[in-house]
Amino acid sequence: MSSSPMRASIEKVTEELKTNPYYEKYAKKIAGLQETSPEEFLQRIEEREKEKISKIESKSSSSHYSSLLEPKKQLTEKMKSEDESLDKIMKIDLIENKDANEIAEIWNHYHKTKDAISAIIPKEAYEEMKINAKKYPTFLFPIPRSQGYEFIMCQFFYNTVHFTPLLNYQVHKENAPECLKITHYPEFKDTKGIVLMKGEFQNNVINSQEAQCLANQLQMYYSQKDANKLKLLEQFTSKPDQFKHMDLIKQIETLNIMK
């Protein structure tokens, strides 16, 4: 760094330090370090600032994630009132004699023209998800954006999973609008070995690819016995101070599930 820019930086930092109530106590030491080793002076200031930011972020993350662990009563009541059964969508008596593949074809064809995603989930995967949903009813998933990632909060309630942008939830709590609602229909679980799934999304918030990304992550974290993913679910629920959102981003970058 040339002497002129360095001098300007030192002067700026010094003016900022003067606002500190302890500045007068250490003014001579500060002045001496500025004279003898200006580069070291600036380096120390930079390190202190990084340390301060790190502490703020750590404190914020801990309390921030902890606040998401208890579902709001108003939100769960809203979910309960919106719960629906499969017979409101399909005439079950007309398809109950068809096999699993035929039902899957009918189900996916029905949702092709709607703002929705659909899937057929094997009985075993669904039951594993239900077990984990009881242990870890709330979690976060990242979706890629043009300049990084956006975090989406999910919350289980009976056979539904509700997704809300984290920023919206922080501001509006239980009144935050959902961007995706996934509903599971287990009516054929025992007779056909399948569970029907649909995901209705708000296309002014997320698109079909992003909705599918969230659904894929939901399955991978809750339905697959992956030790690394289960560790993140456990940390988020039981040890939120140890949970790091960057670990989620590393997972999604490794999986590359947006393709």
Indicate if 146 and 233 belong to the same structural domain: yes
Determine the Cα–Cα distance for residues 35 and 29; give it in Å rounded to an integer. Answer: 10
Question: Residue 72: inside a domain, yes or no?
Answer: no
In the chain, the percentage of residues whose pLDDT exceeds 90 is: 43
**Which of the four pLDDT bands, split at 50, 70 and 90, describes residue 61?**
very low
Indicate if 136 and 207 belong to the same structural domain: yes
Indicate if 63 and 122 belong to the same structural domain: no
Q: Name the most confidently modeled range: 13-17, 120-124, 254-258.
A: 120-124
- Which of 35, 67, 99 terminates a domain? The answer is 67
Mean pLDDT of the chain: 78
pLDDT at 83 over 70: no
Question: Residue 243: inside a domain, yes or no?
Answer: yes
Question: Residue 73: inside a domain, yes or no?
Answer: no
Indicate if 107 and 203 belong to the same structural domain: yes
Return the CA Rg of the chain: 26
Question: Residue 37: inside a domain, yes or no?
Answer: yes
Predicted local confidence at residue 32, as pLDDT:
67
Question: Residue 75: inside a domain, yes or no?
Answer: no
Indicate if 215 and 132 belong to the same structural domain: yes
Indicate if 223 and 119 belong to the same structural domain: yes
Angle between helices 123-135 and 208-222 (to 10 degrees): 80
Predicted local confidence at residue 234, as pLDDT:
94
Distance of CA 179 to the CA centre of its chain: 13
| Residues spanned by the domain of 25 | 5-67
Indicate if 100 and 165 belong to the same structural domain: yes
Q: What is the mean pLDDT of residues 153-158?
A: 91
pLDDT digits (tens, 9 = 90+) for 193-214: 999 999 999 988 999 999 999 9
Question: Residue 192: inside a domain, yes or no?
Answer: yes
- Which of 20, 42, 67 terminates a domain? The answer is 67
Predicted local confidence at residue 31, as pLDDT:
67
Indicate if 34 and 86 belong to the same structural domain: no
Indicate if 96 and 14 belong to the same structural domain: no
Indicate if 174 and 211 belong to the same structural domain: yes
- Which of 40, 67, 94 terminates a domain? The answer is 67
Do 187 and 193 touch, CB atoms closer than 8 A? no
What is this structure's pTM?
0.69
Question: Residue 76: inside a domain, yes or no?
Answer: no
Indicate if 204 and 120 belong to the same structural domain: yes
How many domains is the chain built from? 2
pLDDT at 22 over 60: no
Could you tell me which residue, 12 or 244, shows the higher pLDDT?
A: 244
Indicate if 113 and 199 belong to the same structural domain: yes
Strand partners for 185: 196
Q: Give the least confident one: 91-100, 116-125, 133-142.
A: 91-100
Predicted local confidence at residue 58, as pLDDT:
41
